[in-house]
Structure 1
């Protein structure tokens, strides 16, 4: 144990410094710096500090402080989006940003409340790790983004567990290591370290799928359209016509000096510009003719409208048309972006919308696959990539390849687009599916079933990515059973709390 100042204010200041350092180490584990190995030790300072607390409130404050630093450090781009694209004043944008990371930080506070007494248990390593996972999963009900396990996507041994447990299993392994380090520092009985054998079991699992070349060809288009062109009212009919001509050139790859295989599908990104397939006969004719000329399936984004009691509301949809120009698949985004496509209460009292049509989107309610010849494809849109369960449902329903169309231009030159790509890579690994990711201005990429990048385009540049992939039909454990490990973690945490209450006077 460490000696702390006897003065209570100085003592808590030292403990707060430990908590701050944990938040900082967690933030450093992800882009932009991406020092992922730090994730295996980042929570250690907080847990050491928890052993010097006397009340649940002290633990809650320290944990919340760590969470605020982590979420504020990784999602600093929230302020820029609010200020630049929502046109909020600097003070209003900052208020929302602070509210965002404080609310997110509360999860870490709850973890600290639980972890404090659990650290006294001989079962500290598994129970604390389960508690982390249990609380980590609740982020999906507010705003989910990075999980601790995302940092381990490049750790080949740890990543082996992803097809079985999803990202939660990777978070669990990293927390096992974090807690074991604490047990060592506190000089607890060595027999508690036997729980370290859990990560060793990973060596008995099949390795991450080997890198291999695909036999099918896809062409992904990155048009690089800045959102200001639309927001500032500069998107005219003439500009739209010029853009459509440009997209045709890119889709046919007419300017390429290389000889490439003819693609079986052409994928456009989620758009910043208005595209109305169902309400614009000219656009419908244009996209159909392009599919016929390319003799390929076309996957693209459109805005459509649905009648409601309060009038028509937009849906963000992905459509697939076949080489004959006929519509064969229609999917509407089910998981909407907070502040982008809907504004959660109570923030809706002060902010209306961010994008041209954002703020009142209607979520889709059906899962739709696209037939591609004898195969099937599942397309999810932008932010839906953060919902492991939502992506898994496509694969469980029969998707043999995944497509993610996204528009990350709202993030500007921040690390958010790299973080988003990191998340998408985990979805490919969990389901062991090729993932074709087309974005407006980066990062467009082809991801293999091992979560590795097989090709990508740099951000903020117009480009065409033509690459290869395969259709895969084998279902992983995670694809079949979903977030079972999260539910197991909830049950395990509940049992640990019950036992802890029986053996200790209070939490």
Structure 2
């Protein structure tokens, strides 16, 4: 006689031992979800510069949330990891231009996979908080909170690809003036997760007039409405006069890491382009600047430098010169130096956040096993944060250098130190003609709104740009061309709410995320305990 087996799920068909069929271990649904995770990760990448497709980011997060819906913790980790791999492999492909063929794809693949572990962990924790009220909000908090440890580890932190960096324009950008990059990121992810909850709820009910649609509807559109409402408060006018700034882009050969041995070429290119610009100024074709800016490590400085002295003296105005500065003990610092036409070298800001393997070698003994150039690369010395705002041209100019744009604290310190204008010397010639320079420029545009300051991006080989306090690019150069930009930049003194809150916004969101995860685990424990108690009662009955 056939024995009837209890339904594993309500509504599932009955089976008998005689008719029981072998079920496949995995259904095809997991493959569909895997492909969807990769596709939405790539869609997230497409929201980044140089494409002006900022609105793709919340759509990508909506797709990610739908992939995670109903998954186990292990499955959520896997899908989150795949989402991250698809995103980072596309975003960081410029690493191949930097390292060249001799290194192969392994550094690019390794870094992409390491960063994707954060996305896998995000998938797990998003599932943990998925049963809490207003689950999309808690999920968004979790995802953005994990960007904080990513700025610490690995290799001293690598925050490239933060959600906010996909928003150099559009509805959400204004929120940077309120809560900086963390609040912008939260708004984007919340819209996406809210949209996913809205779609899922509607699909379950198939009713447009269901009250249960109200909460996800609000969570989807509230960040957009908030961003649009804040835009009128984003000011761009001068508050302490203005400054005519010239940014010189001398250009560099596109040879990746081999550029290390071409410092004399960089120096001569910038001297030549400066001379060309001076000729245009003297001919009346270009207005005379109040301040001249050279990009990151455009020259090396070891004591006096008569050639730069003469160049600055010819202009008759002060300059900020990006230089590899040699200290008395022989070590070097990546610096921005005030250069006066009469007195020469003055105040100096030294880069605090150094590029791993480019400006220092972490875990040198281990790196030596896999990296052939370790013994030829000396570690630079980090700056101590002093002179974040340099006194020059009758005002204070805040400086942060290249890679520091990806971190919140250097621009915050430059503004807090009194900077009325922000200058970002950068050298992206290492990374080829790909998207890296555009990605970094997007970060500078975000910093402009975050601190209500105009920004001068001075790049060795592009993209150099003059950015208004609302993030608008007023002029820019192309990649791998010798060029110069001259423009009138407003000087501003007003601080934003983001400046006043500082890192408390980030830490506050992190604390909320931790509280949400704790609440999610408590709820899961109680649910399982209640379920186990019910099962025991049924068995006893």
TM-score for both structures, normalised by structure 2: 0.83
2:151 match: secondary structure: helix
Q: Report if the CA contact (8 A) 1:146-1:423 is conserved.
A: no
Q: Report if the CA contact (8 A) 1:291-1:325 is conserved.
A: no
Alignment of 1:25-424 (within 5 A): 25-54=43-72, 56-83=73-100, 88-90=102-104, 94-141=105-152, 142-155=157-170, 157-187=171-201, 189-193=212-216, 194-196=218-220, 198-199=222-223, 200-207=225-232, 209=234, 215-226=242-253, 228=255, 231=258, 243=269, 246-254=272-280, 259-271=285-297, 274-276=299-301, 278-279=302-303, 281=304, 284-306=305-327, 312-345=330-363, 346-351=366-371, 353=373, 358=377, 360-368=379-387, 369-424=389-444
In structure 2, relative to structure 1, the CA distance for the partners of 1:285 and 1:104 (3 Å cut) is same
Q: Report if the CA contact (8 A) 1:287-1:325 is conserved.
A: no
In structure 2, relative to structure 1, the CA distance for the partners of 1:165 and 1:407 (3 Å cut) is same
1:468 match: secondary structure: strand
Q: How many residues align?
A: 485
Does residue 483 of structure 1 match 2:499? Answer: no
In structure 2, relative to structure 1, the CA distance for the partners of 1:203 and 1:247 (3 Å cut) is closer
For residue 306 of structure 1, report the CA deviation from its aligned partner: 3.9
1:42 match: secondary structure: helix
Cα separation, 1, equivalents of 2:115 and 2:378:
22
Partner of 1:443: 463
1:41 match: secondary structure: helix
For residue 46 of structure 1, report the CA deviation from its aligned partner: 2.3
Cα separation, 1, equivalents of 2:297 and 2:480:
14
Unpaired segments ≥5 residues, structure 1 = none
Cα separation, 2, equivalents of 1:8 and 1:52:
16
Cα separation, 2, equivalents of 1:503 and 1:151:
34
1:300 match: secondary structure: strand
1:217 match: secondary structure: strand
Q: Report if the CA contact (8 A) 1:339-1:359 is conserved.
A: no
Cα separation, 1, equivalents of 2:277 and 2:61:
47
In structure 2, relative to structure 1, the CA distance for the partners of 1:353 and 1:444 (3 Å cut) is farther
Partner of 2:17: none
